Amino acid sequence: MFEEFKKTLRLCTTCPSLCQSACPVFIQDGNKSHSPWGIMNILNRVRKKEMPFTPAVAALTYQCLGCMACSEQCEHDIEIPPVLLSARAKAVEMDIAPDPIKEYIAKFHRHNNPHARDLLKKLYNTLPARYFKKSASVAYYSSCTTIHRCPEIIRDTFSLFDKLKIDFVTPYADPIQCCGYPLITAGAEYDFVDLAEVNFHSLKKYKLIVTGSPACAYTLKTTYAKYDFKLPAPVVSINQFLKPYLKNINYRLKKNVRTKLMYHDPCYLARHLDEHELPREMIAGASGTQPGEFYNNRKNTSCSGHGGTYPIIEDNHACEIIKTRLDECTEKKINMIVTQCPSCIHKMREHGRKFIVKDVISYINDCVEEPEGEYQDARHSRARSTP
Ligand code: SF4
Ligand code: SF4
């Protein structure tokens, strides 16, 4: 078992755990068995048949956020998450995954998303009917967590499209509103493949896929390709898509947006997609103010603690991790946090009620005043019918 990772597992086992100081899980719980080195050491022993792959060992593989902070420190360019995802897939296949993970997967199957809700219905209720265009060649992929937790991001995105006269994008409106990232991180690999295949056939008609969720962007672009569902259309972040439109922006900027704010780099955007300067440039360009910085920023950002399935099994630790991030805002006397991950936004709001927490696009939309007479705010025109 795990022979395909032999080289990686051996390198980690003989390493003096150089990356543990960057691992949010180890920093939070101090348990050496939960450090990248600790988990890899145990898996290497399973590989060498020195111990069996038991439910306890399987549970260890879920002690990871998938944040890739360890890889930034690793001299051998090792990536821990792919090894752990493979081990989780084995755990699910052997039916030895932790019970909360089994329940999470079962919950997912109710509506093909982790929130067990009809999210297409909610998407239709989020935007006026005029935005849903059957003939559009560019799809905006909302993300299940954005629809469920932060639907204002979707409204703000289409409001900004209106201001920038972008009228050729449609919200992706198929029954499945999840890319499958929760399944793959839970270890439900076969279920992920089934879902990815359905999404692949629905998405392949578009010429461009735009998403405001970094985890969705990475999954649709990279994980789908890994499972032979390479989408013919490019998948781009909303920032990359908007960049040329914002460059020539000729709108009046609101004067009341010069709030002291900090930008939090989501792991999937800054590390997995290598996008850290563009959101800062957009914020500075729209507001005339450089965002403040966390001590750990850009590719060295600290995870908010809610990556993958970690909060499903370690909710208390996940909450402590995000509180540490928020404490830094208190220390720096900041009252607004701007970021770009629906899970970070939702959890930062939950744990940091004194802060205003906004998505980058919502912030930009707030900054840019509407051109006179042409903008109709989507928030004020809810009356709509399902197309
Ligand atoms: S990922 Fe790199 S730094 Fe971390 S334990 Fe493995 S070899 Fe060492
Ligand atoms: S990906 Fe993040 S949580 Fe997982 S082992 Fe590496 S640093 Fe720790």
266 CA to centre of ligand 1 in angstroms: 22
| pLDDT confidence band for 247 (50 / 70 / 90) | confident
Q: What is the mean pLDDT of residues 266-278?
A: 97
Q: Which ligand is nearest to the CA of 37?
A: 1
Q: 71 and 195 share a domain?
A: no
Residue 384 in this model has a pLDDT that exceeds 60: no
Pocket test for ligand 2, best of 67, 74, 271, 314 (most atoms within 8 A of CB): 67
CA distances (Å), 216 to each of 3, 197, 205, 237, 326, in order?
30, 15, 18, 9, 25
Residue 131 in this model has a pLDDT that exceeds 60: yes
Find the range with the poorest average confidence among 27-36, 59-68, 142-151, 245-254.
245-254
Distance CA 184, CA 71 (A): 20
Q: 240 and 376 share a domain?
A: yes
Q: What is the mean pLDDT of residues 30-48?
A: 97
Residue 259 in this model has a pLDDT that exceeds 90: no
Domain residue limits at 73:
3-97
CB 103 within 8 A of CB 111: no
| pLDDT confidence band for 378 (50 / 70 / 90) | very low
Which of 53, 78, 97 finishes a domain? Answer: 97
| pLDDT confidence band for 289 (50 / 70 / 90) | confident
Number of domains in the chain: 3
Q: What is the mean pLDDT of residues 336-356?
A: 96
What is the share, in percent, of the chain residues with pLDDT greater than 90?
A: 88
Distance CA 257, CA 273 (A): 28
206 phi and psi angles, rounded to 5 deg = -85, 155
125 CA to centre of ligand 2 in angstroms: 37
Q: 263 and 338 share a domain?
A: yes
Q: 47 and 68 share a domain?
A: yes
Average pLDDT, the chain: 92
pTM: 0.93
Binding-site residues, ligand 1, Cβ < 6 A: 11-12, 15, 17-19, 36-37, 40, 70, 73-74, 76, 78, 80
Find the range with the poorest average confidence among 121-125, 196-200, 365-369.
365-369
Pocket test for ligand 2, best of 70, 271, 314 (most atoms within 8 A of CB): 70
| pLDDT confidence band for 386 (50 / 70 / 90) | very low
Q: 376 and 234 share a domain?
A: yes
Distance CA 69, CA 66 (A): 8
Q: 60 and 124 share a domain?
A: no
Q: Residue 188 has which token pair?
A: 């439900």
For the CA of 79, the closest atom of ligand 1 is: 1
Residue nearest to atom 2 of ligand 2 (CA): 67
Taking alpha carbons only, the member of 77, 11, 76 closest to residue 44 is 11
CB 283 within 8 A of CB 338: yes
CA distances (Å), 169 to each of 152, 180, 198, 250, 384, in order?
17, 23, 21, 21, 18
For the CA of 35, the closest atom of ligand 1 is: 5
Work out the end-to-end distance of the chain between its first and last CA atoms, rounded to an integer number of angstroms: 50
Residue 42 maps to a domain: yes
Q: 43 and 139 share a domain?
A: no
